[in-house]
Amino acid sequence: MVATLTSPESISIENEKNPWLAAAARFEDAANRLNLDDGMRKVLGTSARELTVHIPVLLDDGRIEVFTGYRVQHSIARGPAKGGIRFAPDGTLDEVRALASWMTWKCAVVNIPFGGGKGGVICDPNILSDTELEKITRRYTAEIIDFIGPERDVPAPDVNTNEKVMAWIMDTYSMHARHTVTAIVTGKPMALGGSRGRPEATGRGCMMVILRALKLMNKRPEDTTVVVQGFGNVGGMASQLMSAVGFKIIALVEYDGAVYNPNGLDIAALQQHRKETGSITGFAGGEDMDKAEAMFLECDVLLPAATENVLTSQNAHRVRCQILCEGANGPTTPLADLVLADRKVFVIPDILANAGGVTVSYFEWVQDRQGFFWNEQLVNERLQEIMDESFDAIVEYARAHHVNNRIAAYMVALDRVAGAIKLRGIYA
């Protein structure tokens, strides 16, 4: 499907949260500035492959249910498609298309040799047993098995999937291949070829680019206040790592509430509290507050690290931060971008900010293919090098071309992917 290309200004409020239109708007803006010809726009604005599968599963109560799954490969021009698989009741093909295209640009921004892919199954893991989830995972893998492979498309965890799900995918693929294929997925358990440093990588990458931004502004972590939305793998890990180097995490926002302490939250104690109670609310080291209000506290850094579309044209004017670091995919709509630009917020866009995860996934893929594994220090050193170089390149590009950081990131990414396609030529 070809994107309905548009501009950020032309998106209506009614369509503001459509992820495919958001991806297309940013694509169009960057393509215009790069003067891409119509043919290249069609290639880059179209998914290379899209697969929809319907998965019959025998549930624990004896009923048969049919689940719908997707796998989209947006681009394979620079290498195998790379992207997560999510299990969610509200997933759509448009969402998967958008996320696949974002993966293309993300991999290009940090200059790793992958294209973009994404997958998902429409289901609610909260009402499914482990046995049912395993059946869904294995049947979904079997249905897309001709689509994926270490040289074709390498899935990874995403929303509501984890290393256990990746182990099931690896095993299913390996059973069909008749030999163990560890490089088919990343984000695996260490015992099955996972990489040291992978669980922390996305949160660590967010911290790295925030530190780089502070350096530009001559600020120190210990003088920096942070509000984090999301206390899962990305937000929780970023909070933990940032707190350890001196950042003052003044508020954490979750789906069921928010907790606030102007002197800084004890992140380790808060994690223990949630482990014991199942919620961040009621924490003795802070005060509960409305989650919608907590998002807009005055702070130096706002780190949305949960879901898409949390900042829109309806609330972006309430943002009170100097730096917005997008730990989640697509937390800011194109219309919200216009508001943030007027307010001169320094945005570290998602395709750069949360690229630490795919970067260390690349390291895992490399290690699996070599059969030689690195220690965590080496993983983190190489991640630091890539995140620093990528951040500096985007900021310099933005300055040189008089654009904001998001459009600079898209322009760099589009230019790299288009360059690869031009070098390869069009096969006919």
Which segment of 49-58, 73-82, 318-327, 329-338 scores lowest on mean pLDDT?
Answer: 329-338
Q: Note whether residue 366 is domain-resident.
A: no
Q: Note whether residue 73 is domain-resident.
A: yes
User: Same domain, yes or no, for 70 and 206?
Assistant: no
User: Same domain, yes or no, for 186 and 291?
Assistant: no
User: Same domain, yes or no, for 109 and 247?
Assistant: no
User: Same domain, yes or no, for 170 and 56?
Assistant: yes
pLDDT per position as a tens digit, 133-145: 999 999 999 999 9
From 353, 386, 417, the end of a domain falls on: 353
User: Same domain, yes or no, for 162 and 226?
Assistant: no
pLDDT of 315 reads 95
pLDDT per position as a tens digit, 149-206: 999 999 999 989 999 999 999 999 999 999 999 999 999 999 999 999 999 999 999 9
From 175, 192, 209, the end of a domain falls on: 192
Q: Note whether residue 8 is domain-resident.
A: no
Annotated catalytic residue: which of 82, 106, 118, 248?
A: 118
User: Same domain, yes or no, for 241 and 135?
Assistant: no
Domain holding 167: CATH number?
3.40.50.10860
The answer to pTM > 0.85 is yes
Q: Note whether residue 88 is domain-resident.
A: yes
Residue 271 has pLDDT above 80, yes or no: yes
Domain holding 283: CATH number?
3.40.50.720
Retrieve residue 88's tokens.
């969610």
Residue 2 has pLDDT above 60, yes or no: no
What is the spatial distance between Cα 88 and Cα 126, in angstroms, rounded to a whole number?
Answer: 9
Confidence of residue 10 (pLDDT cuts 50, 70, 90): low
Q: Note whether residue 294 is domain-resident.
A: yes
169 is in which domain, residue-wise?
A: 46-192
User: Same domain, yes or no, for 276 and 325?
Assistant: yes
**CB neighbours of residue 63 within 10 Å:** 8
pLDDT, mean over the chain = 95
Rounded average pLDDT over 395-415: 97
pLDDT per position as a tens digit, 370-403: 999 999 999 999 999 999 999 999 999 999 999 9
Confidence of residue 307 (pLDDT cuts 50, 70, 90): confident
User: Same domain, yes or no, for 207 and 348?
Assistant: yes
pLDDT of 120 reads 96
What is the spatial distance between Cα 314 and Cα 328, in angstroms, rounded to a whole number?
Answer: 19
Rounded average pLDDT over 411-425: 97
In the chain, how many domains are there? 2
User: Same domain, yes or no, for 180 and 216?
Assistant: no
Contact 361, 383 (CB under 8 A): no
Rounded average pLDDT over 17-45: 91
Q: How big is the chain, counted in residues?
A: 428
Rounded average pLDDT over 6-30: 80
Contact 277, 256 (CB under 8 A): no
From 139, 157, 192, the end of a domain falls on: 192
User: Same domain, yes or no, for 63 and 170?
Assistant: yes
Q: Note whether residue 65 is domain-resident.
A: yes
User: Same domain, yes or no, for 218 and 135?
Assistant: no
What is the spatial distance between Cα 165 and Cα 246, in angstroms, rounded to a whole number?
Answer: 35
Q: Note whether residue 388 is domain-resident.
A: no
pLDDT per position as a tens digit, 101-134: 999 999 999 999 999 999 999 999 999 999 999 9
**Is 344 in the active site?**
no
Contact 396, 212 (CB under 8 A): no
